[in-house]
Amino acid sequence: MIPKQSLIEIVGSENFTDQLEELVPYSYDASMNVHRPDGAIWPESPEQVAKIVQLANEEKTPLIPRGAGTSLSGGVVPIQGGIIVDLSKMNRMIEISIENRYVRVQAGVVCDLLNRELAKYGFVFPPDPASSSVATIGGNVATNAGGIKGAKYGTTRDYVLGLQVVLPTGEVMHTGSYTMKCVSGYDLSRLFVGSEGTLGIVTEATLKINPLPRYAMTAVATFSRLEDAGNAIFQTMMSGILPSVMEIMDQVTLRSIKENTDIDLPDAEAMILTETDGFTWEEVEAQMEVILKIFKKNHPIEIKTAKGEKDRVNLWKARKSAYATLARVSNSFVLDDVTVPVSRIPELLIGIQGISKKYDIVIATFGHAGDGNLHPQILYDEYDPEQVERMEKAEAEIFHLAISLNGTLSGEHGIGLSKANYMSLEHDPVEMALMKKIKKTLDPNNIMNPGKRALDDRKESNERANSI
């Protein structure tokens, strides 16, 4: 373990803590995992980060890079103890270059604050995780965050031009370039995007930005049969139109919203919310017309459309309240992010309903139908061991189901601790071995966020929520 005094020499005593009451909040994220760190540190510059990492590497002390701690996978839970490196104070927007279409920001910049600044110029950093009011760019990069507009605008990966990274051995490295195109050398930025803090600490990112579309139109359709909704989705995706939003909510979600809010909803097996956007009304309307035609062919209960900001907000209400409503009706929940090819969405939804019945546990599913990324939210009580067991079994079966449909364990939240045990379901032994080799090459002493993603051979005794 690094001597405390050495860390204080780097950052000053006001930027280090080992006080119990401060370490307790650092033992958690938004998942059910928990473990105490030994300390936490708030570096204020890349040089400080480099010094901290050098020391940690010498002393073989685990370091856990942390942004806002909104990880849903246990990604920032220090399962082997060590020092939390909190990047919140490195929150400078270094350069906004509209003419060259990029921004250069420190890792601790909050996603929404960046976009508030960019909006002044009519630009946007498109990846929009639901946690964007607090999530940091470093966290977005490390988890390859995506969001509601993923189908049209992609995920963080599509916007990273270059990175400044402190490697696990303490050297500072710059990847990528400031240009829109670059094939110079291996694309090392990509290796770090989605690496969940296991390969180094991202201290700065150069990100591509887009002009903000000026107009958007919204439509909501409800369907009495899930199959019809599924057909409407993939027919839209085949139509040549790329909606900016294509969200689906299942019956359990809709019922919960209906019963617990004053939002009026028909009795439906599914609801789709969609949006088209563009730079002229004509463009936006023409796209929507195609989608509405497809919806109408698939036996909807009703369709509502909206153009004005106020009406659009109204149509968004149900979707926006989904997570909160479900969070309020149960003591505890896990929020997963399995993703399948778009045409397999109905199978995934029906399969999840079967799993829900089998384990007699409420699973509400909603998510980004346009890119096949669904969020089954499993409701249970963490203080009832029998319910915990059923939840875990149901979750495991959902993972198996997604993989059997050619899908993935995680579309955007990452593997972290929660899904580490399932890595071999998705990745063959050759790929797993190469991942471990890469990790070992970059991080010979396994100090960077150890214990995550099944990369070290040591088996973690991570007993959800009570492993201290």
Partner 1 sequence: MRGQIQFDEKRQKAIAQCSRCGFCRAVCPIFDLTKRPVTNARGKMILLKELMEGKLPATEAVAQAFLRCTTCMNCTLNCPSGVDPQEMVKQARKDFVRLGMDNLFRTMAETMAKYGNIYGEERRVDWGHKKGNASIVLFLGCVGTYREEESVKETLQLLDILKVDYTLIEEVCCSGVLEDVGYKIIEDLAEKNIREIKKTGAKTLITTCPYCYRVFKDHPAYQNLGLELKHITQFLKDFNFEVQTQKKVTYHDPCDLGRHAGIYEEPREIIRKIAPNFIEPLRTRENSMCCGAGGGFRGSFPKESVRIARNRLGQIIEETGADILLTECPSCLHNFRNARRQKQRIEIYNITEFIGKLYQEKDSFGKEPA
Contact footprint for partner 1 (CB under 8 A): 17, 19-22, 24-30, 42, 68-70, 86, 88-89, 110, 112, 131, 133-134, 323-324, 327-328, 331-333, 381-383, 466, 468
The residue among 72 and 369 lying less far from ligand FAD, judged by its C-beta, is 72
Half-sphere exposure of 174 (CA within 13 A, CB side): 5
* Cβ 267 to ligand FAD shortest distance, Å: 27
Which of partner 1, ligand FAD, none interacts with 140 (beta carbon under 5 to 8 A by kind)?
ligand FAD
* Cβ 325 to partner 1 shortest distance, Å: 9
The residue among 71 and 387 lying less far from ligand FAD, judged by its C-beta, is 71
Measure the CA–CA gap between 164 and 137, rounded to whole angstroms. 13
* Cβ 63 to ligand FAD shortest distance, Å: 9
The residue among 133 and 280 lying less far from partner 1, judged by its C-beta, is 133
* Cβ 339 to ligand FAD shortest distance, Å: 11
* Cβ 135 to ligand FAD shortest distance, Å: 4
The residue among 141 and 292 lying less far from ligand FAD, judged by its C-beta, is 141
Which of ligand FAD, partner 1, none interacts with 112 (beta carbon under 5 to 8 A by kind)?
partner 1
The residue among 21 and 428 lying less far from partner 1, judged by its C-beta, is 21
Measure the CA–CA gap between 418 and 31, rounded to whole angstroms. 8
The residue among 146 and 300 lying less far from ligand FAD, judged by its C-beta, is 146
* Cβ 257 to ligand FAD shortest distance, Å: 16
- Within 91-206, residue ranges assigned H as helices are 111-119, 137-143, 150-153, 188-192
Measure the CA–CA gap between 362 and 253, rounded to whole angstroms. 10
Task: Give contact residues for ligand FAD (rule: CB under 6 A).
Answer: 29-30, 64-72, 75-76, 87, 107, 129-131, 135-136, 138-140, 142-143, 145-147, 196-197, 201-202, 323, 412-413, 449
Which of partner 1, ligand FAD, none interacts with 46 (beta carbon under 5 to 8 A by kind)?
none
The residues, any chain, with a CB within 8 Å of residue 26's CB and separated by 6 or more, are 36, 37, 40, 66, 69, 78, 84, 86
Which of ligand FAD, partner 1, none interacts with 143 (beta carbon under 5 to 8 A by kind)?
ligand FAD
Which of ligand FAD, partner 1, none interacts with 145 (beta carbon under 5 to 8 A by kind)?
ligand FAD
Which of ligand FAD, partner 1, none interacts with 327 (beta carbon under 5 to 8 A by kind)?
partner 1
Which of ligand FAD, partner 1, none interacts with 42 (beta carbon under 5 to 8 A by kind)?
partner 1
- Within 186-299, residue ranges assigned H as helices are 188-192, 226-238, 251-260, 281-297
Nearest residue to 304 (alpha-carbon basis) of 348, 280, 271: 271
Tokens of 131: 């946690």
Measure the CA–CA gap between 137 and 128, rounded to whole angstroms. 11
The residues, any chain, with a CB within 8 Å of residue 209's CB and separated by 6 or more, are 98, 101, 102, 103, 118, 123, 124, 125, 159
Largest CA distance in the chain: 70
Measure the CA–CA gap between 266 and 285, rounded to whole angstroms. 26
Measure the CA–CA gap between 7 and 43, rounded to whole angstroms. 10
